[in-house]
Amino acid sequence: MPSLDPAGKIHIAPWQQEARAINHILEIRYGRDVVKGRPKYRISWSTSQTERRFGTYHVYYMQHIFLREETGELEVPKYPHFPDCWVLETFLYCPVLEIPESRNGHYEIMYPFLSQNQEPLEPLFRVCEIVIYAQRHPHNPRELMNILTERDKKLFDESVSYFKDVLDDENRSWLFTDPHAVVTVPKNYEREAEKVIIPGTIGGTKGEI
């Protein structure tokens, strides 16, 4: 969560910036609940999430000395089994008897960003996308990888096409976009380049291809 640096300024860690960006994309991609207007999916910091849960609780003094038992509503950590990590949540209308506020809809965990050793991981939109797709299409888990592969290839081809057009406009060779292309340069290139300015170069730089 945000913290103060020695100068007293608010410091936002890169993971928090990534989380904000992911939540923004999740809202654009999947929208909000039509009744409550809450994002259908979000990621949040697990330790910051609490809920008021009805039950019987032990009351302690200084966390060690037992005082009594109390029955009623108490604000408790929402994800006690997943402390200090990012979690992907989904908004549900699934009332839970012990959680009165769940009558109006509530968030539940879909995926904790934890390693096999229970170490916190950086939140990634790609992971959110895979988990959400698996929830929405439980009978076609393999289809997602084909969709993502085709989409990545399409985006790559579009990027290559764009840069080829840019290079063509600048009279520069599009071979620089081909990882398999080989460009040879004469031994006296630098000496000859000092004599002329090649037309169409950026800023008229001498000898630039």
pLDDT at residue 194 in the model: 46
Helix (H, G, I), strand (E, B) or coil at 165: helix
Residue 17 structure tokens: 């910036």
C-beta separation of 19 from 43 below 8 A: yes
| Cα-based distances in Å from 118 to 31, 81, 89 | 31, 10, 18
Q: Please give the pLDDT value at position 197.
A: 43
φ and ψ at residue 131, rounded to 5 degrees: -65, -45
Q: Are 27 and 39 in contact (CB under 8 A)?
A: yes
Mean pLDDT of the chain: 77
CA distances from 126 to 43, 123, 133 (A): 13, 9, 11
Q: What pLDDT does 9 receive?
A: 46
Q: By mean pLDDT, which of 3-12, 32-41, 168-177 is the weakest?
A: 3-12
The Cα-based distances of 209 to 54, 170, 181, 195 in angstroms read 72, 10, 15, 15
Parallel/antiparallel/unpaired status of strands 65-77 and 50-61: antiparallel
Percent of the chain with pLDDT over 70: 70
Q: Which whole number is the average pLDDT over 159-166?
A: 73
Lowest-pLDDT range of 61-70, 146-155, 165-174: 165-174
Q: Is the confidence at residue 182, as pLDDT, over 90? A: no
Q: What is the DSSP letter of 49?
A: -
Q: Which residues sit opposite 72 in a β-bridge?
A: 55
pLDDT tens for each residue of 41-86: 999 999 999 999 888 888 888 878 888 888 888 888 999 999 999 9
pLDDT band at 10 (very low <50, low <70, confident <90, very high): very low
pLDDT of residue 173: 57
Rounded Cα–Cα distance for residues 33 and 107 (Å): 12
Residues facing 69 on adjacent strands: 58
The span from the first CA to the last CA of the chain, in angstroms, equals 48
Spatial neighbors of 87 by CB under 8 A, at least 6 apart, are 43, 44, 45, 46, 49, 79, 109, 110, 111, 112, 113
Q: Give the pLDDT score at 21.
A: 92
Q: Which tokens is 161 given?
A: 């096409």
110-120 per-position pLDDT tens digit = 999 999 898 99
86-95, 150-159, 170-179, 186-195: range with lowest mean pLDDT: 186-195
Answering whether pTM is above 0.85, one says no
